[in-house]
Structure 1
Amino acid sequence: ELKVENLPKLERMLREKGVEMLPHLYQLTIDGVSNLKFPRLPSVEELRAIDIYEAASLMEGVVENMPCLKTLDIVRIEGLVVLPDQFSRLGSLQKLKISSCCDLEYFPEYVLEGLTSLRSLSINNCEHLKSLSEGVRHLTCLECLRIHSCPELVTLPSNITQLTALRSVRIGCFFTLPYGLQCIPSLRALDIYDCTFTSLPNWLGDFTSLQELEISRCRKLRSLPSSIQRLTNLSSLNIRECPYLKKRCKRETGEDWQYIKHIPEIQLFFQMKPTFCGFY
């Protein structure tokens, strides 16, 4: 593992002849190093890039010199409006996390075409993100999707139904659940947290394959939809810190108990704890 931090004038990390010194480097973190020209590091599988101002040049260096890259974590990349073209060449990438890229607006379809090995996609605090694009249909290996604090992302692509490997979705800090979420046929686990809506849509009952549902810190949520009783495969329900649901979900006497009594494992936690709208 190697970390290179707060060296804005650094242009080269190693001389060409010195590359052999790091034949087994697995993980690289660069933070605040905008002018770095990457040497060839063929063994690197994990890259964390923070506070980079030239996203295109960064990705060009990554693609050319890190052919085995499997995990990419980019944080606060200034001026990143769309994912660079070079992303389409990351055919080995399995995990992609994008955080606090406030200029990011959409994922071009042709870029997603190349991410055929991607298994996990996490997007956090991208306040101007409007679309994942119809290119998501190419993410045929995607198993986990995490979206947090992306207020302008109100719908998911209609062809998300083609992601038959997608098993787990986490949605956090939304004003309403993104429309299209209900179209994921293979979903097994759904986690809804830190959201401000007062009700859940009735289409929640359309997740016929859902096995695990967690609702946490949705402190304005006043009730559960009656359609939840249609989730006949649901084996686990966890409700945490949703104060309005305390009385409604009370065993036998709560108004919503009739909707959830068929679920084998029900855990209810209502103690309020200091928290912030985080991503984990």
Structure 2
Amino acid sequence: MKNVKCIDGETYDGVEEEAFPSLEELRVKSLPNLERLLSDEGVEMVPRLSQLRSEGVLNFKVPRLPCVEILYARGIEAGTSFIEGVGENMVCLKTLSIEIIKGSVVLPDEFRRLGALQELYIAECYDLEYFPEHVLEGLTSLRTLSINYCKKLKSLSEGVRHLACLESLMIRDCPALGTLPSNMSQLTALRNISIEGYSTLPYGLQRVPSLRTLDISYCECTSLPDWLGDMNTLEELSIWYCKELRSLSSSIQRLTNLSYLRIEGCPHLMKRCKRETGEDWQYINHIPKLKLEE
């Protein structure tokens, strides 16, 4: 099967042009030489296809699949027709997950056509350095953006201002992304942010005007920044497994809307926050709901 180059009506003897009229989900895995998936007009072969999963298919041409709403792609080559084809031929896409793009990565112009996209997950694209502004301006329906293990990512670009519907942002282990765009202040729908794997929290978080929930996990920082106290809309703060974190900032007292604080797996911080006797207890004893666990 590894030598298969094409899957279409001719692959199967005696099938009609509309080969799979009831097919709703298609999984393609470990076909490194696949060049063409379905016919050029894939909608004619799989008129009801709504979900496509691809893994270990390095480079194939994406056919016109206007009914596909969910695409999971893992292990593809940068600079191939696959990525461009997503924007050209999957205009109704609502969920897009891309993992492990090999080689230099730039999100293509065609992505700005994904106006229906609501969830975008990008992971292990190690050479991705930035998000082009003109690409982000087309993602006007995006509600969830998750960026994981993109080691060279330096900028989300000022194009984030176009993400007017964005509600949740997750950034995991992107060490080069030390500052968030200045116009994060325009993301009025953004309610939830999760940060993981940082040595210092990225500057700019405090600019989000309506943030409700902040999760900080597996970070190597020894203290929290004073600007944390500027996040005056924050209601829930969770700090997970930050083993080097040794103290809370006194600025946490300025978070007058904070109603829930959870600290787990932070041994030094737990001592500082010990009820009544800890040095940082004075900063958190006003918070209605506290959950402190070793």
Would you identify which runs of 4 or more consecutive aligned residues in structure 1 move more than 6 Å? none
Query: Per the alignment, in what secondary structure is the counterpart of residue 190 of structure 1?
Result: strand
Q: Does 1:139 align with 2:180?
A: no
Q: 1:80 to 1:72 in 2, by over 3 A?
A: farther
Check whether the contact 2:222–2:246 (CA below 8 A) recurs between aligned residues: yes
Aligned equivalents of 2:134 and 2:41: distance in 1?
A: 36
Higher mean Cα deviation, 94-103 or 1-10?
Answer: 1-10
Aligned equivalents of 1:189 and 1:17: distance in 2?
A: 44
Deviation for aligned residue 1:267: 0.3
Q: Which residue of 2 aligns with 1:166?
A: 190
- Unaligned runs of at least 5 residues, structure 2: 1-24
Amino acid at match of 1:35: N
The alignment's TM-score, normalised by the length of structure 2, stands at 0.88
Equivalent residue pairs, number: 270
Q: Does 1:126 align with 2:150?
A: yes
Deviation for aligned residue 1:64: 2.4
Query: Per the alignment, in what secondary structure is the counterpart of residue 52 of structure 1?
Result: strand
Amino acid at match of 2:225: P
Q: Which residue of 2 aligns with 1:30?
A: 54
Check whether the contact 1:55–1:77 (CA below 8 A) recurs between aligned residues: no
The alignment's TM-score, normalised by the length of structure 1, stands at 0.93
Aligned equivalents of 1:56 and 1:16: distance in 2?
A: 16
Q: Which residue of 2 aligns with 1:189?
A: 213
Q: Which residue of 2 aligns with 1:77?
A: 101
Aligned equivalents of 2:120 and 2:217: distance in 1?
A: 21
Q: Does 1:87 align with 2:111?
A: yes
Q: Of the candidates 73, 78, 91, which is equivalent to residue 49 of structure 1?
A: 73
Deviation for aligned residue 1:83: 1.4
Q: Which residue of 2 aligns with 1:262?
A: 286
Aligned equivalents of 2:218 and 2:51: distance in 1?
A: 32
Aligned equivalents of 2:42 and 2:112: distance in 1?
A: 29
Check whether the contact 2:35–2:60 (CA below 8 A) recurs between aligned residues: yes
Deviation for aligned residue 1:37: 1.8
Q: 1:3 to 1:236 in 2, by over 3 A?
A: same
Q: Which residue of 1 aligns with 2:235?
A: 211
Check whether the contact 1:55–1:78 (CA below 8 A) recurs between aligned residues: no
RMSD: 1.4
Q: 1:206 to 1:112 in 2, by over 3 A?
A: same
Q: Does 1:62 align with 2:86?
A: yes
Aligned equivalents of 2:175 and 2:35: distance in 1?
A: 37
Q: Which residue of 1 aligns with 2:124?
A: 100
Deviation for aligned residue 1:20: 4.0
Query: Per the alignment, in what secondary structure is the counterpart of residue 31 of structure 2?
Result: coil
- Greater CA radius of gyration, 1 or 2? 2
Check whether the contact 2:221–2:245 (CA below 8 A) recurs between aligned residues: yes
Deviation for aligned residue 1:168: 0.5
Identity rate of aligned residues, in percent?
65
